[in-house]
Amino acid sequence: MNGKRYSRQRELIFETLKHSREHPTAEMLYQWLKPENPSLSLGTVYRNLNLLADEGSITRMAFPVERFDADTTAHPHFCCQVCGSVYDLKLPYDAGLDEQALLASGHDVTGHEVIFHGTCVNCKRVH
């Protein structure tokens, strides 16, 4: 987190996101933090998440509801179509796909995102 003046609330939001494996929405972070931070507003959470994403400290993930990830390394995700949970998948990033996309299209490719969809192990147990 550099380039912006220090903000206790931004640091709190960032640290909470770093220690979560849930890829939370802004609303989720707000609900988690509000009880111990009564002056916190949902707008403050959104503003700080956008600042953190713009500076590259977190990743903005465009699922049906925008989610955020403090792990900015390239890695694939799994999105459960039953409960909506999002999980990291420990698979190697295939930089060769970027080269293939360049060769197939001529576009300058700087990266890609991989999102798998299906039913998570928790929902498979229930259904």
| Among 41, 69, 97, residue at a domain's last position | 69
Examine the domain organization and report whether 63 and 21 are in the same domain.
yes
Domains of the chain: total = 2
Examine the domain organization and report whether 103 and 64 are in the same domain.
no
pLDDT tens by residue, the chain, 127 residues: 444 677 899 999 999 999 998 899 999 999 999 999 999 999 999 999 999 999 999 998 877 788 899 999 989 999 998 898 999 999 988 889 999 999 999 999 988 889 999 999 999 998 7
Examine the domain organization and report whether 106 and 63 are in the same domain.
no
Answer whether residue 100 is part of any domain.
yes
Q: Which pLDDT score, from 0 to 100, does residue 4 have? A: 61
Contact between 56 and 72 under an 8 Å Cβ cutoff? The reply is yes
Examine the domain organization and report whether 90 and 62 are in the same domain.
no
Q: What is the pLDDT of residues 56-80, one digit of tens each?
A: 999 988 777 888 999 999 899 999 9
Q: Which domain holds residue 53?
A: 8-69
* Spatial separation of the C-alpha atoms in residues 1 and 104, rounded to whole Å: 36
Examine the domain organization and report whether 14 and 63 are in the same domain.
yes
* Spatial separation of the C-alpha atoms in residues 15 and 56, rounded to whole Å: 15
Examine the domain organization and report whether 54 and 105 are in the same domain.
no
Examine the domain organization and report whether 85 and 32 are in the same domain.
no
Answer whether residue 2 is part of any domain.
no
Contact between 109 and 72 under an 8 Å Cβ cutoff? The reply is no
Answer whether residue 115 is part of any domain.
yes
The CATH number of the domain holding residue 54 is 1.10.10.10
Q: What is the pTM of this model?
A: 0.64
Rg (CA), the chain: 17
